[in-house]
């Protein structure tokens, strides 16, 4: 796990450095602008299903509103297929929101910290019967908006999520570590855009 995360972080740093050096366009986060993004990546789940791999894919989408150049409120949806074998499946979904705290909003590479929270659902289909565990998640992490053009770019991110589920008096909880990459598009905003 540590090697995978270390390699992912190294790759993201190299990509961000390349974008910083190669891009000639000046981009920035503007107040009252919006953005949408799609993402995919790697998810490490801490022992949710005994005997099954903890390594999974994850994908989803976000939509945000830049209240100020330094604070972005956003909503998100994520989906992770956790297990599939002989017709039996387990998957998790998150739906919620949070805030990004942009550190250098007038640069081409904008690092940020993120906090997130919301509802989640764990769906277990085994032997023809299905059980849904509903609950909540909280998360913290960080990433960067790396502008490739004036209005769009790539967004690498790392996040830790704590998941709590319950159904019929039974509860399930686990930790997730996600490394994702996405593409975002930003529009609108007030303020003077740098050239």
Measured CA to CA, the distance from residue 29 to residue 42 in angstroms comes to 27
The answer to whether residue 22 is domain-embedded is yes
Q: From residue 93, how far is each of 169, 173, 177, 184 by CA, in Å?
A: 21, 14, 15, 21
Is residue 129, in this structure, part of any structural domain at all? yes
Give residue 21's pLDDT: 47
With respect to residue 194, please indicate whether it lies within any of the assigned structural domains: no
59-74 pLDDT per residue, tens? 999 999 999 999 999 9
Q: Which region holds residue 67: left if phi is over 0, alpha if psi is between -120 and 50, else beta? A: alpha
Tokens 């993201």 map to which residue?
Answer: 12
Structure pTM?
A: 0.80
pLDDT the model gives residue 167: 78
Structural domains counted in the chain? 1
- Its domain, for residue 99, covers 2-186
Q: Which two tokens stand for residue 79?
A: 């989906």
- pLDDT of amino acid 118: 97
CATH number of the domain that 32 lies in? 2.40.160.20
Residue 191 lies in a domain: no
Other CB atoms within a 10 A radius of the CB of residue 147 amount to 24
Residues of the chain with pLDDT under 50: 19-25, 195
Question: Could you tell me if residue 54 is inside a domain?
Answer: yes
- Residue at 195 is within a domain: no
């Amino acid at each position: 796990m540590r090697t995978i995360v270390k390699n992912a972080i190294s790759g993201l740093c190299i990509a961000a450095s390349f974008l910083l050096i190669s891009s000639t366009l000046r981009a920035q986060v503007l107040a009252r602008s919006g953005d949408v993004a799609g993402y995919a990546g790697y998810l490490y789940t801490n022992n949710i299903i005994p005997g099954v791999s903890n390594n999974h894919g994850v994908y989803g989408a976000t939509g945000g509103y830049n209240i100020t150049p330094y604070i972005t409120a956003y909503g998100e949806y994520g989906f992770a297929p956790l297990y599939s074998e002989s017709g039996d499946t387990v998957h998790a979904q998150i739906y919620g929101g949070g805030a990004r705290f942009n550190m250098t909003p007038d640069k081409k590479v904008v690092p940020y910290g993120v906090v997130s929270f919301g509802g989640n659902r764990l769906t277990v289909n085994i032997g023809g019967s299905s059980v849904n565990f509903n609950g909540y998640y909280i998360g913290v992490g960080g990433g960067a908006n790396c502008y490739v053009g004036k209005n769009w770019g790539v967004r690498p991110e790392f996040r830790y999520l704590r998941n709590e589920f319950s159904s019929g008096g039974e509860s399930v909880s686990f930790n997730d570590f996600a490394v994702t990459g996405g593409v975002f598009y930003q529009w609108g905003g007030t303020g003077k855009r740098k050239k």
